[in-house]
Amino acid sequence: MRLLPWEYLFQPFNATAFPDLYLPLSVASLVALVATVIFYNVRTRQLHRHSVYLQMYEWLLWSAVIAFGLMLVYYVFQFDMFLVLGTLVAGLGTMLWIRFIRFPPYFRAYERQLAKQRYFSRQRFDRPEATIRSRSARRRRRR
């Protein structure tokens, strides 16, 4: 270290100023971007009937695309390090906020809704006679 720690914040993000961070951080951003897109596609196909989960994964996808996409832009155009760190902190913080603060109340409400549906469905078919049509509901056969 030739400079004071806070002076590194205003150095351009390139291989000469940050040789140990430049390539690993850029490769990690690219891998995270690709993994997020793949994860989004897989999970949305699995949970296509549960809109609350689809909304959460869409929020996570777009926040990851923005954060990791900006990291790749910083790799190409060599912005200052404080922008790189700020984007990482804001992007990862947003993703954590989405997953652990924003959507858990919606998950709890959705679970209650599913529990009510299961209860009323079970109650409706609790008696065996409920599944049998009455005689008045049957159609008469024509001769």
Q: Could you read off the pLDDT of 31-76 as tens digits, one per residue?
A: 999 999 999 999 999 999 999 999 999 999 999 999 999 999 999 9
**119: how many CB neighbours lie within 10 A of its CB?**
10
The tokens 């951080």 sit on which residue? 25
Residues 43, 53 contacting (CB under 8 angstroms):
yes
Residue closest to 9 by CA, chosen among 80, 67, 88: 80
Residue-wise pLDDT tens digits, 120-133: 776 666 666 666 66
